[in-house]
Amino acid sequence: MKPPSPIASGFKAPRRRLTREDRLRQLVDVAWQVVGQEGTDALTLGRLAERAGVTKPVVYDHFGTRNGLLAALYQDYDARQTALMDQAIAEVAPALAPRARVIASCYVDCVLTQGREIPGVLAALAGSPELGALKRQYQLAFIDKCRAILGPFAGHGPFAGRALDAAGFWAMLGAADGVSDAAAAGEITPDDAKDALFRIIIAMVGGDAGEGGDHDRA
């Protein structure tokens, strides 16, 4: 006679315990779902615990406070943006136009990937001095990355001898947020947003908007 199967006897196999890293990934993913479906104001540690099917102490252990949770979401967004840009830059020709196109496309695509979620998170970041400082830290890191990517092509043609200044990058960043948010809201198309940002980057660097290769260095 065969022993009863675990299912027939009502036996439940113990659930696999997630590693701390896997649990953090799960909580961040669920947090994005909450923001997308219910809005940023609905994202509390208690609500996250409920949606993720864990106890509140588990969520508090990972984030400590709601600000800590919002910071983790922004860090996750920035890490994804950085990884996509690094990969795309490695795959294009070392010329101004292709690299400017990568920066524009990656920035807009990252905002659109998060849809309505990221504007709410950014608004929450701006409302807290602590989180505002974190946002600025990542903005400065993004500017440094763009400076390294675009710097070799600065000051050609009528702009010869001109260095890329901080004001230009901050203007670029403001434009990037503006056109990306407009695309996310459906006010302009994603392609229009990317093209506008591409032209802004080219104008800031003072180079040729041609999509070719070596002539961008001329």
Return mean pLDDT, the chain.
Answer: 84
Which pLDDT belongs to residue 157?
A: 47
Model confidence at 12, pLDDT cuts 50, 70, 90, reads very low
Diameter over CA atoms, the chain: 91
pLDDT tens for residues 65-98?
Answer: 999 999 999 899 889 889 989 999 999 999 999 9
pLDDT tens for residues 131-159?
Answer: 788 888 989 999 999 999 999 988 654 44
Q: Does residue 69 contact residue 48 with C-beta atoms inside 8 Å?
A: yes
Instruction: Please state the pTM of the whole predicted model.
Output: 0.75
pLDDT tens for residues 184-211?
Answer: 889 999 999 999 999 999 999 986 555 5
Residue type (1 letter), 99: R
